[in-house]
Each structure stands twice: as structure tokens, then as C-alpha cells.
Chains A and B, each alone.
Chain A
Amino acid sequence: MSTPELVGTWIAALLTFCALSFLYKDNPFYKFAEALFVGVSAGYGAAYVVHQVFYQDVIIPLSVCFQVAGQEPSAILQVINRIVPCILGVMILSRFIPSIGWMSRWPLAFIIGYGTGFNVVYIVQTFLLPQIYGMITPLVEIVRPGEAPYEGLTWGGVMVLNTVSNLVLFVGVLSVIAYFFFSKAHTGSYGKFTRFGVWMLMLGFGATYGNTVMARMSLLIGRIQFLLYDWIEGAIGLSLPG
């Protein structure tokens, strides 16, 4: 392990302990690690954006455009393409000066208008139509000759488990939608159907909660692996069993 790696590993290990110390109770070491993280993240982000975005997308193209402006008429258009977004970006900062704060509304109007228009099509193409289509077809799955052999349970050429799964999905989606339809009282057989929708929602929340527990454990496992292998074995030099 080289010296910079060694120093980096020790700092990372100590900061890991500072962060984990919050599990006992709030303390100055945790606050220090938290503040350091926020500061470093903000600094890294600012420096990266200036270097990777402002320099690449504004400074370099503009300098090239100005160099060839005399020979190539299209260079003027390129300059406008770069300058207009920059002006809109600066206008957003006008919020800090109350007397000219109104100027920030123009770029915001542009962002909202562009975002809404673009996202309407995106939502329909990604979430609405394909999901409705996927929910409905195929409701009953049949073993077709010539296709890859199906190893699951079949009954009269129908793939039983796949079909049951599709029906549960179909009825589940309808019952959840019915639950969120408040213009009709949830009573009688309709009420029982919406109750089924609540069960479906609970199953979904349960699956999400289980996955969340798994995700959080994975993150802690990552830290433990770092402490055991990178810090104890790599930086300190102790060998561990296992």
C-alpha cells in the first residue's frame, strides 16, 4: 500500500468510526464527520462542474468559435447557442437581489415549460402505455409448439403458474385503482374488492420494506468489509481468519 493510500485508508477508517458513533448517541465526532462530508461534497461538486461542464461546454467552444468567427458564418450561431443558456443561468441568480428578482422567473418559466412538454410524452411512453399493455397481455399463457420447452406445471396447454401470476397482477392492479377511486362508497361487494386492493398494497409495502432492510444491511456490510480488509489487513497489517 503506497503512502497516500495508507493515509487515505486511515482517514476513511477514522471517519467511519466517527459516523458510526452516532449509533451510541449524538456526539462531536459524528458532527465533525457530518460537517466534513457536507463541505467536501459541496466543494467537490462545485470544482467538478466548473472543470467538466463550464470549461468544456462554454469556455472551450466559445474560444474556438471566436477564433473561426471570421471564416465560418455558422460560428455566430454556435456562440448564440452557448451564450443564451449562460445568460439564462445568470438570470436565475438575480433572486439574490430583490429589486431585480423578477428576472429569475424567465429561466424558470423556460425550465418548467421545457420539462413539462418533454415529460408528458416520456411519462406516456414509459409508464402509461407499456405498463397497461404489460398488465393485460398475455393474461392466459399457452404453451406454443416450436417455442422453448416450458418446464413448469401445465393444464390443457395452459402454463398454470404464469397464468395465475398474470391474473393476480391484473386483478391486483384493478383493485388498487378501485381503492383510490373515491367517487363511489367502498361498501358491499365493491368495498370487498377495494379491501383486496389494500391487501395488495400491504404486500407491496412489505416487499419494499424487506428490500430496504436488505439494502441498509448491504451498506453496513460494505463498511465492515472496508474495515476488515482495507484497514485491519491492508493498513495495519494484521491477518484475519476467514
Chain B
Amino acid sequence: MAQQPHVKRDIWASLLKIDRRIVFVFIFVALTVPFLIPGMNVPVETQPPAEKLFAAIEALPSGSDVIISFDYGPSTKPELSPMATALARHCFSRDIRIYAMAFYLEGPAIGEQILREVAEEYGKEEHVDYVNLGYKPGGPAAVIMGMAAGVSQVFPTDKNNTPLGDIPAMSHFKKLSDIELCISLSASTYPEAWAGFAKARVGVPCAGGVTAVMAADFYAFLDTGQLVGCLMGMAGAAEYEELLVSNKVNENAYGTATQGMASQSMAHIVIVAFVAIGNIAMYMSLRNQRRSGSRRRKGGSRSVNS
């Protein structure tokens, strides 16, 4: 009986020293299992930032012109590419022309793959319904303000070196003010730059699609109206897919983002469980230490008195 507190303390202490690889295994299983169980989906509730962006595109008349800036690389594809696919579907379904560009080296290749696939779905043609202008270094200030003066000054050709004069769609896009909406899909702060130059100086409405890491920073830009809408992380992409389906824009719009939300939820439950276990174990371990300490002091004082 006298050994019991000692055993309890060991259990809590061993929980605190749990090998991190065991946590990795739990996370991996939680993320993988939902993909292997048929019909395991979680409902996606749409939020105002995604709804506002949907409404902004919905309000554009047919034949409008939209820039999608692919300001990200492969490292953030799982979060941002589903957004690009959903936005391209929405634009093409409303006969809105898309002009793709990038401040990231890898952006044009990612954009080309997505636009080609969605264009095939809707029977759209490159150079008529969409143009991939490619990557341009120099930072957003120089590029965006250069485009405000004239697109051909910044992008003399498209990504595949076709002169802009030979591209029919470019007759609608001579300078930035011809554009109805700029959307920056970014793993960084590029939507801020779009809001700062395209919206503040040229007056073109801007929107963003950002990774979840950046999400908290962009609520301020939504409140001020500097961004008309914003998709935030994989959840934002899933919300946009839900909006496309629920508004009957595309009934097959559920993609990798919606698919991933069940995994996301499972992983969050596991993480919360580990955080709770860790905190309880820490509390119990400290309590046991205090108790055993006071017991030792009492025992010590008794022996001195005796």
C-alpha cells in the first residue's frame, strides 16, 4: 500500500516522457483512416470571408476579366491549389476570362496545370478564355504599378513566349484598370501588396487566398474592405467547393479540400487529446511530487523529534 503513490507518479511522469514518434504515428493514422473509410465526410459550414468572395465573382458580368496570381510553390499546394481549381471553375462557368501570373518561380507551372484541367472541363481555350503571363521578378510594387501603366511593358510575352499582340484575350487587358477583380493565392503576404497597389492606387477590387498560417493577419483587410473576400487555408477551399455545389455552379466541385476536412478534424481531435493528456499528466506529476516532498519533510521532522 505504501508503494501506491510512487507507482502513480511513474505513470504520469512516463506520460510526460512519451516518445514523439508515438505522437507522429497517432497523427498519421488519424489523417489516413478517413480516406480509407467509405463515406466518411464532415459537413462544411461556409463563413463570410469565402461567401463574400463567391458573391464578388457572382456579381461580375459575363465576359469580365479577372487576374489570378499564383504566388505560391509546391510546398503549399495542398492548401492553395484546391482554391485555384474552385475559383477557376467559378470563373469559367460564368464566362469570365482569367489572366494568370506569378510572383513565385513555380507559380506559372502550377497555374498552367490547374487552368488546363479546368478549361478542358468547361471547353475553354488558352489565349481566348485564359492567358498564363508567367513569372516576373522585381516585387509587387514594380510589377503591379508597371501593369497599371501597361501590361505589355511588364509582360511582353506570355509564359510560352507568345507575343501579347498575338493573343486574342489580351485585347481586353491592356492595363490593370481593365481588370474587374485581382485574386492573389499566396503563401506569403502578397494579397496585402495587391490591396496596397491595385486597390489603393488603381481602384481594382482585390481578394486573397492564403494559407491557414497567414489567415489571422487577413481578417483586418476584410474588415476595412481592402479585400472583398478571402479563402483561408484548406478549410477556406472546402468552403468554396461547398458554395459551388450548394449554389449549383458545379455539382462535381467537391475536391481534395472537402475530402481532406475529415482527416483535418480527426487530426485536430488527436492533437487536442494529446494536449489535454500532457497538461493533466503535468498537473498530476507536480501534485505527486509536492505530496511526496511534504511526506519526506514530515518523516524527517519525526525522526529528528524522536
How far apart are A165's CB and chain B's nearest CB, in angstroms? 10
How far apart are B210's CB and chain A's nearest CB, in angstroms? 10
Q: Do residues A134 and B233 form an inter-chain contact, with CB atoms below 8 A?
A: no
Given that A52-B134, A122-B197, A222-B78 are contacting pairs, would A241 and B37 also be in contact in the complex, using a CB cutoff of 8 Å? yes
Offer 11 A-B interface pairs, CB within 8 angstroms, sorted by A: A57-B156, A115-B141, A130-B226, A134-B220, A207-B216, A214-B212, A215-B79, A220-B28, A224-B31, A225-B78, A228-B36
Listed from nearest, the 8 A-B pairs whose CB atoms lie closest are A222-B78, A126-B196, A134-B224, A215-B212, A218-B234, A221-B260, A211-B212, A214-B212
Q: Do residues A214 and B35 form an inter-chain contact, with CB atoms below 8 A?
A: no
How far apart are A147's CB and chain B's nearest CB, in angstroms? 16
Residue numbers in A under 8 Å from B64 (CB-CB): none
Main secondary structure, interface of A, reads helix
In the complex, identify which listed stretch (B118-126, B241-249, B262-270) lies at the interface while the others stay far away. B262-270
In the complex, identify which listed stretch (A26-34, A43-51, A150-158) lies at the interface while the others stay far away. A43-51
Report the bound CA distance from A223 to B260 in whole Å: 11
Q: Do residues A218 and B78 form an inter-chain contact, with CB atoms below 8 A?
A: yes
The contact string, 1 if C-beta is below 8 Å from chain B, for chain A 1-29, is 00000000000000000000001100000
Report the bound CA distance from A225 to B159 in whole Å: 29
Q: Which residue of A lies closest to B192 (CB)?
A: A126
The contact string, 1 if C-beta is below 8 Å from chain A, for chain B 195-216, is 1110011000000000111111
Residue among A56, A57, A214, A218 with the most chain B CB within 10 A?
A218
- Say yes or no: is A96 at the interface (Cβ < 8 Å to chain B): no
How far apart are B82's CB and chain A's nearest CB, in angstroms? 9
B223 touches which of A61, A134, A217 (Cβ 8 Å): A134
How far apart are A75's CB and chain B's nearest CB, in angstroms? 15
Range of interface residues on B (Cβ < 8 Å): 35 or more
Main secondary structure, interface of B, reads helix
- Say yes or no: is B93 at the interface (Cβ < 8 Å to chain A): no
Q: Which residue of B lies closest to A46 (CB)?
A: B105
Q: Do residues B35 and A217 form an inter-chain contact, with CB atoms below 8 A?
A: no
How far apart are B254's CB and chain A's nearest CB, in angstroms? 14
A214 touches which of B223, B224, B268 (Cβ 8 Å): B268
Given that A130-B226, A218-B264 are contacting pairs, would A212 and B213 also be in contact in the complex, using a CB cutoff of 8 Å? yes
Report the bound CA distance from A125 to B194 in whole Å: 12
B161 touches which of A56, A61, A207 (Cβ 8 Å): A56
Q: Which residue of B lies closest to A222 (CB)?
A: B78
Q: Do residues B36 and A242 form an inter-chain contact, with CB atoms below 8 A?
A: yes
Report the bound CA distance from A228 to B78 in whole Å: 14
6 further A-B contacts with Cβ under 8 Å, apart from A221-B234, A222-B78, are: A48-B135, A119-B141, A126-B192, A211-B233, A215-B79, A240-B35
Residue numbers in B under 8 Å from A126 (CB-CB): 192, 195-196, 200, 226
- Say yes or no: is B271 at the interface (Cβ < 8 Å to chain A): yes
Q: Do residues A211 and B215 form an inter-chain contact, with CB atoms below 8 A?
A: yes
The contact string, 1 if C-beta is below 8 Å from chain A, for chain B 223-261, is 111100000111100000000000000000000100110
Q: Which residue of A lies closest to B157 (CB)?
A: A56
Report the bound CA distance from A225 to B141 in whole Å: 37
How far apart are B206's CB and chain A's nearest CB, in angstroms? 11
Residue numbers in B under 8 Å from A240 (CB-CB): 35-36
Q: Which residue of B lies closest to A51 (CB)?
A: B161
Q: Do residues A53 and B137 form an inter-chain contact, with CB atoms below 8 A?
A: yes
B264 touches which of A127, A221, A242 (Cβ 8 Å): A221
Residue numbers in A under 8 Å from B216 (CB-CB): 204, 207-208, 211
